Amino acid sequence: MAIQWSGLSPEILVRLDRDSGQPLRSQLETALREAIRSNRLPGGERLPSSRELARELGVSRGLVQNCYNQLLSEGYLTSRTGSATRVAERAFPAAPPEPAPPPAPSQLLADLRAGVPDLASFPRNDWVWAVREVCGGIANADLNYGDPRGHIKLRQVLAGYSSRVRAAAAVPEQLIVTTGFAQGVNLVARALVQAGVRCVAFEDPGYGNVENSETVRAVAESGLRTVHVPVDDLGIDVAALAATDAQAVLVTPAHQSPTGVVLAPRRRQALVDWAVRNDAFIVEDDYDSEFRYDREPIGVLQGLAPDRVFTLGTVSKALAPAVRLGWVLTPSAQTEAVAEQKHISDRGSSTLNQLALAALLESGRYDRHLRRMRTVYAGRRTALIAALERHAPHVKLTGLAAGFHAVAHLPEHADERAVAAAARERRVGLYPLGDYRAAVEPAPPRLVLGFGNVSERAIESGIAAVADLLA
Tally of domains within the chain: 3
- The rounded Cα 135 to chain-centroid distance in angstroms is 24
Question: Domain end: 334, 363, 392, which one?
Answer: 363
Q: Is 248 found in the same domain as 169?
A: yes
Q: Is 390 found in the same domain as 321?
A: no
Question: Domain end: 331, 363, 395, which one?
Answer: 363
CATH number at residue 214: 3.40.640.10
CATH number at residue 381: 3.90.1150.10
Q: With beta carbons less than 8 A apart as the criterion, state whether 63 and 74 touch.
A: no
Q: Is 349 found in the same domain as 415?
A: no
Q: Counting beta carbons within 10 angstroms of the beta carbon of residue 287, is it exposed (0 to 12), middle (13 to 18) or buried (19 or more)?
A: buried
Amino acid identity, position 75: G
Residue 44 lies in a domain: yes
What is the 3-state secondary structure of 305-317?
Answer: CCCCEEEEEECCC
Q: With beta carbons less than 8 A apart as the criterion, state whether 41 and 35 touch.
A: yes
Q: With beta carbons less than 8 A apart as the criterion, state whether 223 and 193 touch.
A: yes
Q: Is 198 found in the same domain as 141?
A: yes
Amino acid identity, position 128: V
Q: What is the pLDDT of residue 9?
A: 57
**Rounded Cα distance, 142 and 155, in Å:** 15
Q: Is 152 found in the same domain as 75?
A: no
Residues 404-425 as b or e (16 or more Cβ within 10 Å = b): bbbbbbbeeebebeebbeebee
Q: Is 356 found in the same domain as 384?
A: no
Q: With beta carbons less than 8 A apart as the criterion, state whether 3 and 41 touch.
A: no
Q: What is the pLDDT of residue 101?
A: 67
Which phi and psi (to 5°) does residue 176 adopt?
-120, 120
The β-bridge relationship of strands 77-78 and 326-329 is unpaired
Q: Is 304 found in the same domain as 161?
A: yes
Q: Is 379 found in the same domain as 336?
A: no
- The rounded Cα 150 to chain-centroid distance in angstroms is 18
Q: Counting beta carbons within 10 angstroms of the beta carbon of residue 147, is it exposed (0 to 12), middle (13 to 18) or buried (19 or more)?
A: middle
Residue 94 lies in a domain: no
pTM of the model as a whole: 0.86
Q: Is 225 found in the same domain as 350?
A: yes
Q: Is 344 found in the same domain as 275?
A: yes
The edge-to-edge listing of strands for the beta sheet with 396-398 is: 396-398, 405-409, 446-450, 431-432
Q: Is 332 found in the same domain as 388?
A: no
Residue 183 lies in a domain: yes
Residue 70 lies in a domain: yes
Residue 6 lies in a domain: no
Spatial CB neighbours of 288, under 8 Å, sequence gap ≥ 6:
254, 255, 317, 402, 403, 404
CATH number at residue 83: 1.10.10.10
Residue 424 lies in a domain: yes
Residue 15 lies in a domain: no
Q: Is 352 found in the same domain as 226?
A: yes
**CA R_g for the chain:** 29
**Rounded Cα distance, 137 and 151, in Å:** 15
Q: Is 115 helix (H, G, I), strand (E, B) or coil?
A: coil
**Rounded Cα distance, 85 and 266, in Å:** 77
Residue 236: closest CA among 280, 212, 211, 270: 270
Residue 101 lies in a domain: no
Q: What is the pLDDT of residue 188?
A: 98
Q: What is the pLDDT of residue 338?
A: 98
Per-residue pLDDT of the chain (471 residues; tens, 9 = 90+): 444 444 455 778 888 898 888 999 999 999 999 989 888 888 888 899 889 999 989 999 999 999 999 999 999 999 887 778 899 987 555 555 666 666 555 689 999 999 999 999 999 999 999 999 999 999 999 999 999 999 999 999 999 999 999 999 999 999 999 999 999 999 999 999 999 999 999 999 999 988 889 999 999 999 999 999 999 999 999 999 999 999 999 999 998 999 999 999 999 999 999 999 999 999 999 987 788 876 677 889 999 999 999 999 999 999 999 999 999 999 999 999 999 999 999 999 999 999 999 999 999 999 999 999 999 999 999 999 999 999 999 999 999 888 899 999 999 999 999 999 999 999 999 999 999 999 877 789 999 999 999 999 999 999 999 999 998
Question: Domain end: 363, 384, 414, which one?
Answer: 363
Which phi and psi (to 5°) does residue 405 adopt?
-150, 160
Q: What is the pLDDT of residue 290?
A: 81
What domain range includes position 63? 24-87
What are the CA-CA distances from residue 34 to residues 69, 79, 220 (Å)? Answer: 17, 19, 51
